[in-house]
Structure formats: C-alpha cells, structure tokens
Structure 1
C-alpha cells in the first residue's frame, strides 16, 4: 500500500480570462454572457428575418461591438474592446455607410452568407495570481490533480513547465462543450499513468448536450497497480439559475459512475459542481442523486477537515460549498485524511480573510490564486 493524494482545484483560468468573468462586478458580466450566447445562437439561423437582424444588432450594441449615439449605430473601432470581438472570417455580414450619420446594416441573409461569430475579449490574469496558483498546486502536492476552468492544454503544459518545474509527468485536457476557454483537465505525477481517456461531450439531453463542459473520464494506474476511474466535472454555473441543468448533469454522472461501480471499479467523481448545500446535513438540492447513489462525499468521511468554514468558494459558507470529491465504497475504506486548502483564496472581500490562513504575500483579491479553494483527499492504495 502507498499514500495517494487526489485533489480538485478550480483555478479560474491560468493566463487569460474573458473580461466578462470578472467576479468583482457580476451584475455587469452576466448580461454580457447572455448576449454572447444569444447572438451566436441567432447567427446559426439558416435565414435572418428582419426581426432576427434587429435583435442581432441590438445584441452587438449590448456587447459594445457596435456603439449607439443619438440613434445612430456604428462599428466600435476600439483596438481593445471592453467585452467582445465580432469575428468575420468569410463572406459579408454587415455594411457601414461612409456617411457617419447613418447606421451600420446587417446585410447577411443567413448563415450561408458568412462565416463568423462573437468572441469574448480576454485579459491577462494577474501574474502574482498565476504564481499563487502554482504555489497552491505545489503545496497541495497531489499525485492526481483535477483542474477546472483551464483555458486550454498548452496553458496547462506551460504552467507545469514554467511554474511547477515539470512536477507532473502527464498533462491532459480534452476540449469540452464550452467555447469560452473554461475546460476541465488533469495532471498526474510520474508513476500515475493515464491508461485511457473518454469524453462525454456528445451525451445529449433532447437536442442539447448534457454537460456544460464535460464529464471527462480518466483511467489512471497507480504505482502499486491499483486503477482509479476519475471523472472530472464542472457543472452548469449559477448564472441565470441553472438548477434543472445541474440536476440532469448529476443524474448522468450518477449513471456513468454507477455502471463503473457495478463493474467493481474504483471511482472518484470530483470538480466544481456549482451548487452549495442549504445546511450541513442537507445535500444540495439538484445534486441529491449523486449523494443517494454509490458514491460518498469527502465531507461525510470521518477525518475530513473543513477548517473553521464549511465551504470552498468566496466566503466559504455552507451554501458556497461548490467543490467536491466523491468516492466509491471501494475507496471509502482506503480514505486516511482530507482537507480544504484555502491559503490562495481571498474572495471578493476588501480585507484579508480571518477564518483561514492566507499567503502573506497576497495583499488583495487580484493576487489570489482563485476564489475557490482546493479540495484534497488522501487514500491508502
């Protein structure tokens, strides 16, 4: 037997992040994200009716791709847009008259007339914050580390090489269903080989994908020969509610995990499930199926230490318990310890947190690793 450390950490992007994700002003970002999604959905229409064109133009104004002054709508010529870019690769989407007193017109008749989309503008993550993220990862020192909200695999490789000193032998990320650069990935140390990878992005719920990102499945062999089936998740955000979507996602994860457990596999489900508990003894409403199934939450395992606060996000109240590690019964008896690691978490507050230890080098929220804590479990395998 040997000590194996497994952890989950929502890093909130490593090097670049959409400006609309700025958690210091959620009220500004949420309508931008809604407009982004609606425009790209309308842009896929086969035929643009006058009503669709009018709505698309209004959305581009909301996204500040267009500007409106005194009733005249023109293209925004800013080189560094506040919220978004309009990418136009082929064909013609709009026309702007030379007369500055006249408005831009959307002249495309439908999807077949042009190739393009709205892309969210990004800004660099604070360098100190990125280094703090690396410091958290180093101190947690997980053998198997699931990462949430990573922009892409090259960013993960760069982090491992430049800031972690090549600590991890295997670095993997499979693009999911979210096109904004918030995917889920995994890193494992030498001796923890990734035997197989399976993506679940194509599982449908009616016409729509079940998973907002993915429920990525990794089969990992430990140095002692034990095999772990690790399912990395990032459920639907709480923006706009999303409870029904998280309910369906929880049920699908339970189905996948249930089949693996029935086949006598060692299963770990972990990640940001985006819904907290109403109380210490009541599971999150839309995640209930996960807790009623063959898995057990790390928070219910004897010896798991949450510290002074029960949650993992921002102020870390119980309703902010968003990050989880759940294990199958075959691994529950292998559990030896676990904790919530908050040293890199400042949150949205203006003053330093007092309910948990933080790195003294952090002086404000912009320098935090993430507004999520890492969740860590130790197993004897």
Structure 2
C-alpha cells in the first residue's frame, strides 16, 4: 500500500460527557467549567490564606456546592479530613488549612451520550476511512477500544488494529489518542503531559507523540493535540490565548527536535482551538514551516471554510498540519461534515446522515478533517 490517509476527529466523548458540556447547558458551561478548573487548581495550595478561602467559596457558589456536596453539574468528593463547615445560619466556611489537611476534589457529573450520536460517530470514522486517525476528547483507552471493536462492527466496518491513548492533564476525561489500521503500526510512543515552562504545565491535555511505520516503508510521526479551549476561558480569552501560545511554542520545539533527529515526515493533528491567522498559533507556523492540508489545491472544503459547527473561517480550529516533505507527498484532503448538525436555516447546507434528525443526534460539533498521502511520489 503506497497510500495513507491521516485524519483528525474531535469525537466529543463517545459514551459519557460532563452534563454541563451538553448542548442544552450552553449558558452554564463557561462559568461552571472555569470554576471547576480554578477550584481544583486552588486546593493544591500548601496554605489556604483568607484570600484563597474566599475564592474557593466563590467557586463553590458557582458550582452549586456551597450548601451541599452535590449539584446539577458537580460533586464535591471528600475522602479524608474536614474541608468545609456549613453553619445553621446559612453561612459556609472553609476550615481546612491547606492541601495536607484534607483529601478531596470537585468532579463534574456526567450523562450518557445519545445512542444515535454514538452510532453517527462510528459512521463518521467508517466513512472517513483514515488509516491513521487522531481522536480528541475520548474518555479512556478502554472505552476507545470498546468503541472500535463493537460500534465500528455495528456500522459494517472492521475495528482498528491498534488503539492508543495515554491519560492527559484534563481531569474531565477528555483525552487525545490514535487509531491505526491496515498495517500502519505504532512503533514508539512519547507523552508530553509533564512538559513545563516558567509558567507551569504546558499542555491542557497532552501533545501525544506517535511514531507510525507505514506499509510503504516510511515512518510518519503524528503529534495529536487538543489545545486550551476558547469557549470556557475568561471574557476576551486573554488567559486561554496565552496558554495556546505557550502550547504552540512547545509543539514547534518538538517538531524541530524531531527534524533534527532525522524525522522528515511529521503531522500535527487535532483541535487547536484557534484560527490559522491567530497570534496564539503563530509560532506553530512561523517556527516550523508546517503547512495546513487545507492549503492543498485538491482539498475539498465541503460547503464551508470552517470545521466547527456551521461557522466559516472563524470556525477553522481542527487541523492536519504537515512538514514540507510530507506536504509534498499529499495528493489532496478534505472535510467530512455528515455527522455535524446543520440546522434548518444553515446556508450552503451540507449532507447529513438521514437518521440525524435532532442536534442531540450529532456525532460531534466538529467535522473530521483528513489528508491523503501518496508515498510513491
């Protein structure tokens, strides 16, 4: 086989998803997810100063956990020690002195994904037919393996030969992974969850590094990413953009290190959560020479210029980026939208699955994107 299709697909969880991230909870998502992330960051402090305690209480209020350990969207888990005192007069105080005085955390409650949505996710994978597929927002390797072995058979396709996923830094269970088939074999795996700079941990999830031997002989290194989200950051997204910039800098460094080691064929795939012209992603392009497969003359945009929902250029946030030697072997690529809900008023309408009659049946808010590589060139 001289042909390899490299794809990227944000599956948005296959079986369960945090309830606050469901399509019916849009107005609650940003404050709840921000409070959840900040709360679990603050409780790691060695000492809970009065200012830290006050901020912890503010986040508990947002999460609905100030007067009880369970709310619509979150649960306060307390394993050992005392964290809060809830008084009869309605007041709540943080009594723990720091991380060493109690063990616990806040986790988000989950709900099952629609059975039809799960089926449509499998249909997207089947119809894209990538030999090497980077997946974003997968719960775990076990569930990704189960999905491949059972759901792909259910829609009339064969499971992937290899299923890889390393737990990342996001405690919500939204990880990145890689699926391979048709004699495309992963020979080396490297995680970057521990990568740090002067500001701390770099990657929100991981920049998972997979070295794949292709049946044609050449090796391709695939870096699967899910950069810091725009949707759940502070207004104007200054912190999120800064984090994405740091992540782009490190990915560029990894790409250049790989090239120095002699690896010519490198693909950076995934949900980068920003547009190609953004300041946050600038290091990724300017420091590496990476090229977006959507620049190829034979790329099929399929009705829109974005990858997220029905948004055009401002919704181009999913990528297959190739080093120049790999781009030179590309013969085309495209965006597959059949699993994305379009709504009755969407202009330039694309084809969707006939059984997708409601937004809750969508495989994902993200279209899959892919590049076709011909190793004989």
Note the C-alpha offset of 1:31: 0.7
Show CA shifts across 1:131-174 (max 9, x none): 10001001111110100011111110110111013520110101
Q: Which residue of structure 2 aligns with residue 280 of structure 1?
A: none
Note the C-alpha offset of 1:352: 6.7
Note the C-alpha offset of 1:312: 0.3
> Residue 379 of structure 1 is aligned with which of 369, 373, 376?
373
> Residue 306 of structure 2 is aligned with which of 298, 301, 311?
311
Q: Which residue of structure 1 aligns with residue 349 of structure 2?
A: 355
> Residue 83 of structure 1 is aligned with which of 73, 92, 117?
73
Q: Which residue of structure 2 aligns with residue 186 of structure 1?
A: 178
Question: Is 1:117–2:116 an aligned residue pair?
Answer: no
Note the C-alpha offset of 1:52: 3.0
Q: How does 1:1-381 map to 2 (within 5 A)?
A: 2-66=2-66, 74-75=67-68, 81-96=71-86, 99=88, 101-165=89-153, 167-238=159-230, 239-240=233-234, 241=237, 242-262=240-260, 263-277=262-276, 283-292=277-286, 293-346=288-341, 349=343, 354-381=348-375
Superposed CA RMSD: 1.9
- C-alpha contact 1:291 1:297 (8 A) present in aligned 2: no
- C-alpha contact 1:261 1:294 (8 A) present in aligned 2: no
- C-alpha contact 1:177 1:201 (8 A) present in aligned 2: yes
TM-score by length of 1: 0.90
Q: Which residue of structure 2 aligns with residue 70 of structure 1?
A: none
Show CA shifts across 1:199-237 (max 9, x none): 111221214112111111000001122111011111111
Structure-1 separation of matches of 2:298 and 2:279: 25
Structure-2 separation of matches of 1:375 and 1:123: 27
**Residue 75 of structure 1: SS of its match in structure 2?**
coil
Where does the alignment leave 5 or more consecutive residues of structure 1 unmatched? 67-73, 278-282
Note the C-alpha offset of 1:307: 2.1
Show CA shifts across 1:240-278 (max 9, x none): 31112212211221221122234243111111111124x
Note the C-alpha offset of 1:38: 2.0
**Residue 320 of structure 2: SS of its match in structure 1?**
strand
TM-score by length of 2: 0.91
- CA 55–139 in structure 1, closer or farther in 2 if over 3 Å, else same: same
